[in-house]
Amino acid sequence: MKNFLTVFLIFSSLCLSAQPKKTKSKAVNKFYSIQLSGKLLGDYRKPADLYFGEFHGSEQDGQVIKVNPNGEFAAKVLLKEPGLVYLKKGLYSQYFMVTAKEKTYQIDLTCGNDILNAIQIQNSPENRAYQDFLNAHKKFSTNIDSYRQKNLEDATVFQEFAKLIRDYQTELADFAKQNPQTYAANYLSVTDRVTEKDLASVQSLRQNYLKRPYFADPKFYNTSIPTWIIEDYINFICNKNDKSFAAFESLLNGASKNTEAAKRLQDALYDGLVKSKRQDLINGYIDWAQANPGKMVQQVVQAKLQRLAKSMVGGPLINVSLKDTSGTVQQLKAVAASSKYTLLAIYSPGCSHCQETLPKLGPIAEQYKSKGFKIFTVAANTNTAEWTGFIKKYMGYGWINTMEGPNNTSIGEYAITSLPSFVLIDSKGKIVAKMDAHSVKEDLQKWLESL
């Protein structure tokens, strides 16, 4: 019996030692592949290679897709997350939605004057649903636009505003029912929900609007929804007299637990704040980045904030030294010193908003030029032929017109995020206002009325 027990224990020991050792499983990055094929249509220059990449709050680095002489292209690409991707030709991009559910995308890209101006995805329920979602949000944005200058502290005004939000929530619920099993319905529309509790009062809405768990989810930033939410909060919901950065600081601190989400949030927040032109909130972001270097993980945004700090309203101009159409070097600081107000206009000749906005400044420039007003333009992302052609077609007589080099230094120095952009400078070389395409005509008139 003793011998039997000894043999049994030895045998058991051997069996246990032969068991495979348990090891910690390593996280595996799962990618999925999609097949792109399509054709360039319309008016475009050849060769016409495209650039493909993913959108994570901004356009990320991608890959070149070759286009054959017939305008046809095809490529197989690997993706990690669902969301928006882009096809780009030159400076212009077109976006569409991709998910692991749809493996192939048949694409028609239409060009006009060598610019991508339309995209059509054939037989894609995901993209049809995403377009419906976009339309619902655009309708909501249009409905609330008149509340930019209204006081939500007024109970009647807030109830009207809250009703518009409730109507949008109802539309999102209907959209989800009509588009089952799509990414736009199952994820995107859910992230844009507001609860009835949030709508109980303006204080409750302000306190909870940005407290969404999705801000800590990297894939949340694969569309423009985070930027929409931030912009809506700034433009409509937050107290315009409250200069505190606390709500955004809480948002940044919460997302810092996930490095990738933090990077993407910092990108989206920068865009939202710069578009808002809220100097107090922008200063709050600059201060936060300086006080929290360990949490400021998006280095590109950190560099932008450092440049932005040098070109804020109230600070001195950053000189621009470029050649005009005659080859003469023009200095912005000299022009500003010789006038009462100088408008620095940075634009691109191929930009449709620039083509629409710049001509509107002609009558204003003519009206005030004898009173000391000058326009100093900088053309970016262009060539000499395109630049001079734009001047002849769209510019007013007597403007100082210069062209940027390939490095687009002025765009970087003035932290420009959209074109056209405008900077108003007084005779002492101080930046007194920043404007965009939507505000420049009205804002400029207000400043020049005193001349």
Say what percent of the chain tops pLDDT 70.
93
Q: How confident is the model at residue 414 (pLDDT cuts 50, 70, 90)?
A: confident
Q: What is the reported pLDDT for 29?
A: 55
Which among 105, 64, 66, 68 has a CA at the least distance from the CA of 84?
105
Identity of residue 163: K
Task: Please provide the average confidence, as pLDDT, over all residues in the chain.
Answer: 89
Give me 134's structure tokens.
């976009």
Crossing angle for the helix pair 259-276 and 225-232, to the nearest 10 degrees: 50
In the beta sheet, which residues pair with residue 79? 32
- Are the C-beta atoms of residues 426 and 341 closer than 8 Å to each other? yes
* Helix/strand/coil for 303: helix
Give me 378's structure tokens.
């900088």
pLDDT digits (tens, 9 = 90+) for 345-364: 999 998 888 999 999 999 99
- How far is 404 from 264, CA to CA, in rounded Å? 30
- How far is 449 from 123, CA to CA, in rounded Å? 55
Sheet holding 104-112, edge to edge: 72-79, 32-42, 104-112, 115-122
Q: What is the reported pLDDT for 408?
A: 64
Block residue for tokens 């930033």: 221
- Compute and round to an integer the Cα radius of gyration of the chain: 27
| pTM score, whole prediction | 0.79
- How far is 96 from 184, CA to CA, in rounded Å? 12
Indicate if the pLDDT at residue 9 is higher than 70: no
pLDDT digits (tens, 9 = 90+) for 200-227: 999 999 999 999 999 999 999 999 999 9
Q: What is the reported pLDDT for 428?
A: 96
Q: Using CA atoms in the order 296, 298, 303, 304, what is the torsion angle rounded to 10 degrees?
A: -110
pLDDT digits (tens, 9 = 90+) for 44-81: 888 788 999 999 877 877 899 999 999 999 999 999 89
- How far is 165 from 209, CA to CA, in rounded Å? 12
Indicate if the pLDDT at residue 25 is higher than 50: no
